[in-house]
Structure 1
Amino acid sequence: MRWDWIPEYADKLISGLWLTIELLLVCATLGFLLAIPIGLVQVTGPRPLALLARGFCTFIRGTPLLIQLWLIYYGLGSIFPSIDGIRDSFLWPYLRAALPYAIFAFTLSVAGYTGEVMRGAFAGVPKGELEAARAMGMSPFTVLRRVWLPRAVQNVFPTLAGEFVLTLKATPLAATITIHELFSRSTEVRQDTFLTYEPLLLVAGIYIILTGIIVVIFRWMENRIPKPAQA
């Protein structure tokens, strides 16, 4: 095996790695923030919104992410240029780039999967805890912020770590819409050097390291979450 190509392509691989990490962090954060109301509304209603949220989760979980990504990129990407004045607006530099569409697609994917997780998490919080909080005079928003949401997140924290890892492993799909993340950079190396296994093995090793870091961070955070008192 040959590894003498690494110094020549180190800068490209590092830039691809940073773009992968940025894509992961942005989409996972935005997706989780969207998943909270998506999960909550399925438990609390109103029914029309609950059905809409359930349908969204069903669509996201029932269709491949690659298809979702292409529908958004080739769908919205072809609609925006036809809108009058859009090419002259400040939005055009962003709308003609591939990265915003990838962020949108990955964010919706995270929201769909995690929204279903949060639905079960909200439903699994003991009703007695919520009733006790209301009896203390807390407003609905305060109950959500101080009791319901923290307890729900605590119940599914390991699952959220798994969703984070799955999102990381899905980022190579962004290469299909010309985003130069880590996998895309490894493809450039393979095309230039005609090496097949070495670039793929290097990228696989990097993903394993990133996964290990994510698992360690989530376990550290999980250990710092106060455990509920046992009766």
Structure 2
Amino acid sequence: MNPIEILFEYWPRLLDGALMTLKLTFLGALIAGLVSPGLALIRVQAAPMAQAPLRLYVSFIRGTPILAQLFLIFYGSGQFRPALEEWGLWTFFRDPFNCALLAFALNSTAYQTEILRGGIMSVPQREIEAAKAIGMSRSKILRRVVFPHAYRIAWPALGNEVILLMKASALASVVTVFDVMGRTRQIFSRTFDFSVYLWAALIYLCITAAFVLLWRQAERRLSRHIHAPGTPRASAQPFKESQA
């Protein structure tokens, strides 16, 4: 079979794999996006002892391969099946998709936490002082000043993290989650035609290109009111110091 015939015969399976890749990537990134702002605040403001468990978690995730984390969750949970059944959690952990999603969410949370920590610490102190001067409460300062500015600063790095997570989702196939790579391996086992891997690579490329385009459009919208011509940029100082 030539490459075009491979595509026409197996495109439904490749499309199904692409949808699984998107689902796994964006659910994992979304869960991480909901959790990481609070963890980033802890990393910036909490006492060193209170930060210790979080620092250990971030160091472990960033210092170990995501494949090892996936195996720890998927295969490791089976070692604790009696306890998980007693707690009513075995139904969750016996599903390969749930294990893969948990692994990717935990991985992305660690990276997004550190990215946002850098964004928060880069918020100019004069903006925070101005918010205090007009009587804003601490929660309002975080909601209306710190996080909006921190996300504008961190936006490109967050986009890169989502792209890296999408590429890492190819590892989900090793635990029988049939994403793009999982479907590609299935097709190759039947056809022994390497061109199917070319189509898989093109699918990843198209997804990445579309995501980058959308992310850059969002970045332009977020940044359209800042750094106007002739306006000097504020010097960046840690938000933590402004609370002193």
Q: How does the TM-score come out when normalised to structure 2?
A: 0.87
Instruction: Indicate the percent of aligned positions where both proteins have the same amino acid.
Output: 32
Partner of 1:28: 29
Partner of 1:173: 171
Partner of 1:119: 117
Match of 2:185 among 178, 184, 187: 187
- Secondary structure at 1:216 match in 2: helix
Whole-angstrom CA distance in 2 between matches of 1:172 and 1:142: 41
TM-superposed CA distance for 1:5, in Å, is 2.6
| 8 A Cα contact 2:7 2:199, kept in partner | no
Partner of 1:50: 51
Where do 1:74-85 residues align within 5 Å? 74-79=75-80, 81-83=81-83
Match of 2:96 among 85, 91, 98: 98
- Secondary structure at 2:103 match in 1: helix
TM-superposed CA distance for 1:172, in Å, is 0.4
TM-superposed CA distance for 1:84, in Å, is 7.4
Comparing 166-175 with 135-144, greater Cα deviation is found at 135-144
- Secondary structure at 1:137 match in 2: coil
Partner of 1:218: 215
Partner of 1:204: 201
Q: 1:112 to 1:222 in 2, by over 3 A?
A: same
Whole-angstrom CA distance in 2 between matches of 1:213 and 1:2: 24
Comparing 64-73 with 135-144, greater Cα deviation is found at 135-144
Whole-angstrom CA distance in 1 between matches of 2:79 and 2:96: 12
TM-superposed CA distance for 1:47, in Å, is 2.5
Whole-angstrom CA distance in 1 between matches of 2:75 and 2:64: 17
Comparing 107-116 with 92-101, greater Cα deviation is found at 92-101
- The alignment covers a number of residue pairs equal to 227
Partner of 2:226: 228
Aligned residue identity for 1:174: A
TM-superposed CA distance for 1:78, in Å, is 3.2
Q: Deviations over 1:116-137 (max 9, x none)?
A: 1111111111122112212222
| 8 A Cα contact 1:172 1:183, kept in partner | yes
Gaps of 5+ in 2: 233-244
Q: How does the TM-score come out when normalised to structure 1?
A: 0.91
Match of 2:128 among 109, 127, 130: 130
Whole-angstrom CA distance in 2 between matches of 1:169 and 1:49: 33
- Secondary structure at 2:3 match in 1: coil
Whole-angstrom CA distance in 2 between matches of 1:129 and 1:77: 51
TM-superposed CA distance for 1:93, in Å, is 4.0
Q: Deviations over 1:186-224 (max 9, x none)?
A: 00010001112x111001001111111111011100111
Match of 2:138 among 126, 137, 140: 140
Whole-angstrom CA distance in 1 between matches of 2:21 and 2:156: 22
Gaps of 5+ in 1: none
- Secondary structure at 1:161 match in 2: helix
RMSD: 1.8
TM-superposed CA distance for 1:85, in Å, is 5.0
- Secondary structure at 2:177 match in 1: coil
Whole-angstrom CA distance in 1 between matches of 2:153 and 2:71: 34
Matched, 1:161 2:159: yes
Partner of 2:61: 60
